[in-house]
Structure 1
Amino acid sequence: MRVVVLYSGGKDSNYALYWALRKGFEVKYLLSMVSERDDSYMYHVPNIHLTELQARAAGIPLVKGFTSGEKEKEVEDMKAVIEGLRVDGIVAGALASEYQKERVEGIAGELGLKSFAPAWHRDPIDYMRELTGIFDIVVVGVSAYGLDERWLGRRVDERAIEELVRLHERYGVHPAGEGGEFETFVRDAPFFRARVVFDEVVKKWDGPSYSGVLEVTRAHLEPKEAQLSKGG
């Protein structure tokens, strides 16, 4: 089956891609939607420009769609892009958002395509633990009380997950960030031929709103063979 994977560069879209490849699907394209808004209803925003590096690392063509981010219209913008692709299905990283899942399924239905959401309704803590065993994940955006500036640029590991569990119990933060509490970026994955290295970053923090982003202003791909030769 030929599929397009909706791809933001974060943990969920990379899991969707990982799942599709393991299923034996022919991943024809990765699709990144670039929104003019910082608070898109549908799409991941922080560092979306870096999906170009990730696509190169994965060796899969990247298609970019652009949207003003207007509610519902951004769904039509994505549909217009997918309509021009020769695929049989759409794979998305939805975990708990009914809004996103329903709209992707709606696009698939209108275009006569199959829709897949392999992470749908998984236990968020088990899911996060599985992801940390597969990917190198870093937090690039936060927007929830309890998540402070120190989380920006932090690698998601077992200790981070334990803290997220405590924040969930205390403040209701979703352990997998599904409510927009945090955004992530995957620097390495089993299907990457090279890993993404951040060269220059800028932390932007808004204390009153408990929100911030880690903007990666310069990055490059480093072949894994080069890392092995360095002993890392």
Structure 2
Amino acid sequence: MRVAVLFSGGKDSTYALYWALKEGFEVKYLVSMHSESDESYMYHVPNIHLTELQARAVGIPLIKGFTKGEKEKEVEDLKRVLEGLKIDGIVAGALASQYQKERVERVAQELGIKVFAPFWGVDPEEYMKTLIQEGFDVVIVGVSAYGLDKTWLGRKIDGKALEELKTLSEKYKVHIAGEGGEFETFVRDAPFFSAKVVFDEVEKIWDEYTSSGVLIVKKAHLEPKG
């Protein structure tokens, strides 16, 4: 089974890639969509440029797609990228976004290929625990929810952070895995990476009015493991 993984560099797409490799799929490509709009309905935006480093760390070709990020039109932009690839299926890291899942399924149906969303409907707390236990180095690079302040930017998701997210979920209804857009992540390292991503220069941008912000990684490099 030749597949492409829809890849943003965040925890969900990276874990979906890990799943595909463990399942024995032939992962031909990582597909990253670069949106001009920070308000994209479909695509992860913060630090999408760093997927180049991650692709090198896993040794899989990266295909970049570009979109203005306009609602619905950005789905057609994805289709144009995928229809040029010789694949039998696509893998997505969707957990709970019906909007994204339905549109990826529609594109796949139109192209005559299969869709795999291995973690759809998963229990979010167990899912996050598994990421930590499996050794994924996940950091938060964007926040946009009550209860999440600028101290969360650049913070690694570990056991302590997960307990705090559980408390915030109870108090503010924050989705514990960030699937409602409450936070965005980046994976610096994973069990199947040959090297880890090291941040050299970062900038925190915080908007007090909206209580939201992003961690912009201006410089980064790969550091061999072991």
TM-score normalized by the length of structure 1: 0.96
- The match for 1:176 is 177
- The match for 1:194 is 195
> RMSD across aligned C-alpha pairs, in angstroms?
0.5
Distance across 2 between alignment mates of 1:133 and 1:150: 24
Q: In the TM superposition, what is the alpha-carbon distance from 1:208 to its structure 2 partner?
A: 1.5
- The match for 2:6 is 6
* Aligned residue runs from structure 1 range 38-77, under 5 A: 38-77=38-77
- The match for 1:228 is none
- 3-state secondary structure, aligned to 1:155: coil
Unaligned runs of 5+ in 2: none
Q: In the TM superposition, what is the alpha-carbon distance from 1:132 to its structure 2 partner?
A: 1.3
Q: Deviation string for 1:107-156 (max 9, x for gaps)? A: 11000000000110000000001011221000000000100000000000
Q: Deviation string for 1:39-86 (max 9, x for gaps)? A: 110000000000000000000000000000000000000000000000
Q: In the TM superposition, what is the alpha-carbon distance from 1:207 to its structure 2 partner?
A: 1.3
- The match for 2:78 is 78
Distance across 1 between alignment mates of 2:99 and 2:9: 20
Distance across 2 between alignment mates of 1:133 and 1:51: 23
- 3-state secondary structure, aligned to 1:209: coil
- The match for 1:91 is 91
Q: Deviation string for 1:169-203 (max 9, x for gaps)? A: 00010000000000000000111110000000000
Identical-residue share of aligned pairs (%): 73
Unaligned runs of 5+ in 1: 226-232
- 3-state secondary structure, aligned to 1:4: strand
Q: Does 1:147 align with 2:132?
A: no
* Aligned residue runs from structure 1 range 78-227, under 5 A: 78-134=78-134, 135-225=136-226
Distance across 2 between alignment mates of 1:119 and 1:48: 22
Task: Name the stretch that deviates more: 211-220 or 125-134.
Answer: 125-134
Task: Name the stretch that deviates more: 70-79 or 125-134.
Answer: 125-134
Distance across 2 between alignment mates of 1:209 and 1:169: 21
Q: Which amino acid aligns with 1:159?
A: K
Distance across 2 between alignment mates of 1:180 and 1:111: 28
Q: Which amino acid aligns with 2:40?
A: S
- 3-state secondary structure, aligned to 2:215: strand
Q: Which amino acid aligns with 1:111?
A: L
Q: Segments of 4+ in structure 1 off by > 2 A? A: none
Count residues with an aligned counterpart.
225
Q: Which amino acid aligns with 1:132?
A: I
Distance across 1 between alignment mates of 2:97 and 2:17: 18
- The match for 1:230 is none
